[in-house]
Amino acid sequence: MSVQADKDWWRGAVIYQIYPRSFQDSNGDGIGDLPGITQRLPYVASLGVDAIWISPFFTSPMKDFGYDVSDYCDVDPMFGTLQDFKALVARAHELGLKVMIDQVLSHSSDQHAWFKESRASRENPKADWYVWADPQPDGTPPNNWLSIFGGSAWQWDARREQYYLHNFLVSQPDLNFHCPAVQEALLDTVRFWLDLGVDGFRLDTINFYVHDHELRSNPPLPVEERDDSIAPRVNPYNHQYHLYSKNRPENLAFLERFRALLDEYPAATAVGEVGDAQRGLEIMGEYTTGENRVHMCYSFEFLSGELPSAQKVAHVLARVDEAAPDGWACWAYSNHDVVRHATRWNASPEAQKAMTTLMMCLRGSACIYQGEELGLGEADVAYEDLQDPYGIEFWPEFKGRDGCRTPMVWENNNSAAGFSEGKSWLPVSADHLAKAVDVAEQDPQALVHFYRKAIALRHANPALAKGDHDGVKHSGSVVYFTRSHEGEEIFCAINLSDGPARLQAPAGQWQSVAQELGGLDVGAVLSFAPWQVAVWKRGA
């Protein structure tokens, strides 16, 4: 008798992001690959996470390291083969891990066969598969839209004597979601991976799919409203309110088609990346509300530059409650696109522990990025070693994303930290070696053990994974709330400061369930040490 799949496994799940170029190299070429990931899956499973999210490994010219796809249904040879991917999925499932992969649907590589045909003429069968537009009478681009990577979002193409849209690199032309055939083709690629056993998808730049059909120019954004959470401060992209180049309401119809496809499978899920500085949480609410859009989304509130205060956390969660009352967030502090949070927040090990406990207690799912469980900070990559076109474009004011993408450190006894037997594609950070996995596993005080305990706390208490909350509040430096699920209540309070704090305890009979995390015992008044937590339980 087969076991019924849990369609809600994603709700409250802990997802571990793997950047394949930098996780484990199995063949000595200095670049991580799929067999390398398979080799290291027992370590990932030992953390207690529910799923892995693998950044793109599809066929690509690698101008943006896989986020420029030239074949959506094959593996780039540098990462292995489709057979290697099938083996990875099989091993992950043996270990109880779900497998999520990155789907880059908003744009392809300019080397994709679709784009090569589209740019050949204005009359071919795929002529409207990308966003083409005539110049203005003076030859300038159709409107003022800007690329996240700098400069105009329009590139002139001599073959068609038209401009094409690229929200990212010139080599990443945007697909035209107003064309029904494009939607069908993209959904076919999604089905391809579902049929290979994939459990879900991370949807890159989910709010960029659809552009304004009338190509209206974006309005300017007042200086006081500019926010560098999506693009670096020095990028003029921050000078516009991106009303027409992304965030279009027509996107909802496609997301409903996408969800309908996922619902044909036993327990497939998706998390969308919402990249917008002004309306991120509002869009998250729109995209995750109800049962017919994406399951969850994450925005950039906790990928911000400053360590969130208790007041900031309460404010963000209140906005989520308002914008997405029946939606579902996925929280992350670090990923492959931002400075690692240990450095970005200048966070001490104690602060990292408190923030980890907070993530595991908040309503929503959680995503951790490879190496953050070791306490890795941002690597300092010299200009001559840079690979990221974003950093090369805006150096030195913005150093790009290479500092968070350096190889995972497995061993503290060789030049490539156990990542590769060859010269790694990015240099291994010397500062990371002392925090290598083999060192951390032997040190009872290492952060990785705390991550395991915090993740186990979430799994042991269904209210923390799937429950509602009574609203996130703060008193001074303490953020606190109560989660509830099927008769179980969990009271959570975290002191987000390096000073002591006090809080009146909630009434009732409780028991502490976070002793292994240094949590406070039950008492009438909570007297917190710096960065200390209290997690209490009653009922069920």
* Catalytic site positions: 204, 264
CA dist., res. 345 & res. 361, Å (int):
20
- With beta carbons less than 8 A apart as the criterion, state whether 515 and 532 touch: no
CA dist., res. 530 & res. 354, Å (int):
9
Of residues 308, 395, 269, the one with CA closest to residue 7: 269
- With beta carbons less than 8 A apart as the criterion, state whether 167 and 205 touch: yes
Please give the full DSSP string across 316-359, using - where no structure is assigned.
Answer: HHHHHHHH-TT--BEEES--TTS--HHHHTT--HHHHHHHHHHH
Please give the full DSSP string across 231-250, using - where no structure is assigned.
Answer: S-TT-GGGGB--SSSS--TT
For tokens 């690629």, name the residue: 189
Compute φ and ψ for 503, nearest 5 degrees: -150, 135
What's the first-to-final CA gap in the chain, in angstroms? Answer: 29
CA dist., res. 349 & res. 107, Å (int):
39
- Would you tell me how many other CB atoms lie within 10 Å of the CB of residue 78? 20
Instruction: Encode burial over 494-520: b for 16+ CB neighbours within 10 A, e otherwise.
Output: bbbbeeebebebeeeebebbbeebbbb
Of residues 510, 507, 531, 509, the one with CA closest to residue 519: 531
- Would you tell me how many other CB atoms lie within 10 Å of the CB of residue 170? 17
What is the DSSP secondary structure assignment for residue 95, as one 8-state letter? T
Helix or strand run (H / E) with residue 187? helix 180-195
Instruction: Encode burial over 339-371: b for 16+ CB neighbours within 10 A, e otherwise.
Output: bbbbbbbebeeebbbbbbbbbbbbbbbbbbbbb
